[in-house]
Chain A
Amino acid sequence: MTNKYSCYVLADPNKCTGCKACELACFAEHNKSNNGVGYTVGTVTIPVTPKLYLTKTKAYCMPIQCRHCEDAPCLNACQKHAIYRENSQVIVDQEKCIGCKDCVLACPFGAIAILPIGEKGKLKLQKDREVVKVASKCDLCKDIEGGPACVRVCPNDALELVDANADIEAKNIKTAEGLYVSRI
């Protein structure tokens, strides 16, 4: 079943301690099969490139990641059609991406960064030996068992997978019950 609205992960700045476990887990999960990243430091042969970005203000901190907008500015900005929708989620096709940075500027949350990618444990290179850099953003750990890695590893439960569909339904029921109590 596909959701009516896309889901997204939202952090709670009142709980986040800024430990970056989410960033590391994100990187590890996405580079397990292609780049052989395992459980120890020695297995990491490429730069750590997360898909969510820990942001610190003076008073608090939290990771910022994609909201999987329903009318996604990044998707609409991409002239190469490298950003597409799959099961309501907004996904970057890193093979198609040419690194033009339009999506980075279009995103109102700062959820996209241009980062290098690895292939078979090495940095992917272009024809002229320059490093391939592509748009990197949360894909909600699609095709990964267990759902978003960031949510799973957060030691403080500061991250939550928000499902707008379920949220609306729950609130509607609550409101209806309230209406029953306050009926005239």
Chain B
Amino acid sequence: MTGFRIDGGTLIDRNDVRRFSFNGEALSGFGGDTVASALLANGRQLVGRSFKYHRPRGILTAGAAEPNALLTIGRDGRRDPNTRATMAELFDGLEARSQNCWPNVNFDIGAANGLLGPLLGAGFYYKTFMWPAAFWEKVYEPLIRKAAGLGRASYDPDPGYYEKCWAHCDLLVIGAGAAGLAAALTAGRAGARVIIADEGAQLGGGLLAEGSPIGGKPADAVLADIVGELHALPNVEIKKRTTVFAAYDDQVFAAVERVQKHLPEGAINPHLAMERLWRIVARQVVLATGAEERPIVFGGNDRPGVMMAGAMRTYLNAYGVAPGKRVALFANNNQAYQTAMDLEARGVEVAAIIDPRTCPNIRYDGKARMIAGAMVRDTAGRKAIKSITVRHDDGRDEVIAVDALAVSGGYSPIVHLACHRGGKPAWSDEHVGFMPPENTDGMTPCGAVAGKIGIVDCFAAGGAAAVKALAELGVMGDAATLPGVAQGDATVDHVQPVWSVSSTKGKAFVDFQNDVAASDITLAMREGYDHVELAKRYTTNGMATDQGKTSNVNAIGILAENKGVSPGEIGTTTFRPFYTPVSFGALVGASKGMEFQPIRKSPLHGWAERHGARFVETGLWYRSSWFPKDGETFWRDSVDREVNTVRTKVGICDVSTLGKIEIFGADAAEFLNRVYCNAFLKLPIGKARYGIMLREDGFVYDDGTTSCLGENHYFMTTTTALAAGVLTHLEFCAQVLWPELDVRLASATDQWAQMAIAGPKSRDVLAKIIDEDLSNEAFPFLAAREVSMFGGRLKGRLFRISFSGELAYEIAVPAGYGDSVADAIMTAGEEFGIVPYGTEALGVMRIEKGHVTHAEINGTVTPADLGMGKMVSAKKDDFIGRVMNLREGLVDPNRPTLVGIKPKSASDKFATGSHILKPGDPVSLANDQGYVTSMCHSPTLGHAIGLALVKNGPSRHGEEVVIWNGLAGTTVTGILCDPAFVDPENEKLHA
């Protein structure tokens, strides 16, 4: 340890020595230290380099607002760039590195940028890199992008586990300083469900830095009493290290909890989250977020060693760290004087107190020299402050040697959360700051955020706020009684606004993190960007990761000063979430890798796995795509084999993912008749029918089959993709369009394992497991009914429907039995050469048969476009889409209509999405005749085939066309044909 570590420090444990490295140098600190306090204790004032000018930067604050001391902490996947040293807790083995410097923080080549300062003012890149124009994208922008940014994200995956949680409470108290603690205690004693959240590692806020007694007791003892009582209340949940970073509608608040970020690698529990993202639903909120001390804008105000007065007090009292040996204070308010008193009490020399007020109304009996009516004009020193230049009220300059300077320009209430829902803060001349909006709906600001100063006032305000919030909930409570006199409190303050020091000669920074100087703000004004939102964007003031916590109000003040108006007339920029940066890990939570999204598995998934299926993701479903056999190295080897086997023998395919909807009710038939464009009123029991649903605009929405299984009981299948959409559509129709109909709907998709058994031998296979007559007479095409299976051991639903164009059935059994039934079918089919086939073979066969899917039902087609115009009922009074389907444009004979397409030469191939042109027409979309919707290699025909939507297609069968692939720049000669390439007479279906 060095001489900067002094006695005291309520937060540190001197028996717990923690070793860490800073830029590779071995250092040590204590348990309870932050990285910032440990660095200061080791005499490290220079910790980083600034964004644009690479100026030496130190530690400005002791909390969340830190703009300068941003470090990269950790290594590999656990590397966190841009970590505020003031918030990072020290642990054994911590590795910290400075950012934005090369080769090192002490000697940084980039500091040469400082010499170019006059050229690098606000908006310099808009003006400087104009010529030659081609250089912008190729040279200037890449260079600027390379230079931009501070820390670098790791490319290694973060091994930590992250999660998201919900929490609920009557009262959420945000901030655990004096006001927040009093509010939580009040509500907790009244029996309310309370959550108190604070971003710090310990509860206490400003109390942690309080060096003076409260009510005659040491401040840390008072704090311990309060926290002890809160811990003992079962209805109070304490969330330390938890930053409430956003306020949303309906009283939902987002918070991030640093669960294990403060632990060394060896102590991390892999099953416990590194960080937790909370969504807190609070009936009422007490906002006790405190106030941020403002810097003052003067020359060299960014030099290491310049620190906020409150931060200096925190390091002194909470961490036992002296910021320097000879310190000056530059303050325009009374509260900051307590820093000087505490410094002196700890034996640190206070060289001078510089106060711009001519008659500061302050009781100060310390040793420091008081310089009233004066300003700090500039500082000097290379990598740390060596002296300050004071401009006296008579215009005289005086240089005072110091190694640290405490600054306090007043206090800005931390109103962010009060404004996230759209409220605008209001300027207060009394408090010289922007106060929370008047209407904060369910949120009661109290304490420093509401303009209170001093611990005792904040205790009282917190208690009163909780009583008010509880009353809104109908809960009676008494404000907690807490010690009534705090020796260190300033009871009356008078802040004299000082937005910038006019006599400054050096660069005077407003926004430290983005290197925005006062001169940049005035430049923006001169160039017409004087609106606060424009000035922000022109200068980038407040646009860094600190979001201008220490800079925004000063920028507004400078704008106001130069325009000769009140800061209230300038107003603030818009407050939006997040209050402080949130890691991507917390935002992603557990949704990464295989947990990125849920996986939906068919009841036949295990069966398909055992048969070697290759799976494809279709939405959340994993569907079996094809089943390779030994020796098949290319997917099409398997698919061709599967297709050929089904066409000549038999195959089994998992179709469980199709949507299945049970429909009941006395008016179910009428209901179906209205949602389908074809007739359903007279569908007999035991029969299935193919149906087309239209949207209201007359285009096709979805297709599928619906079977009548009994009186007032129907069973609808939908496409896999639209299973949920169709049910939602039907519910809308039932509940909103026709509430007078008795119809009830239930999704049964997951209840059934459904298999297609297709091929000329399919009947023979099923006959071995189904107890009923499956002859053409007893069970004809489109028959559908419940059947007994396995000698009465199981009931299933059998449908004689075909997507492949073969003699085919679909058998549905209760999902748990799907695996066994599929095995039984494979065994029964063994003698017939049965194979499992996947969705690829299914797709090939449906193209060969000319059946459509959503490749054709693409939202722009009518039934007539698909060659099914005759299905649209002309007799029904009404159905969804009836009127709009008759629109002029939808009955135009030149509409693109379904045709088959094949290459003129069997060896040619073409791609889905290719456009159709007339031979001889220039290759251009202006000559477009239509496009290919589906394409495959047909193992049955031995060449490529496709389906296409072509103008007046059905009348052009046999016509030669050009198939143009605009992406690949190729053309192939094709021939339009009947879309049913296989069995156009449907003989197989009825076999």
Chains A and B bind each other: no
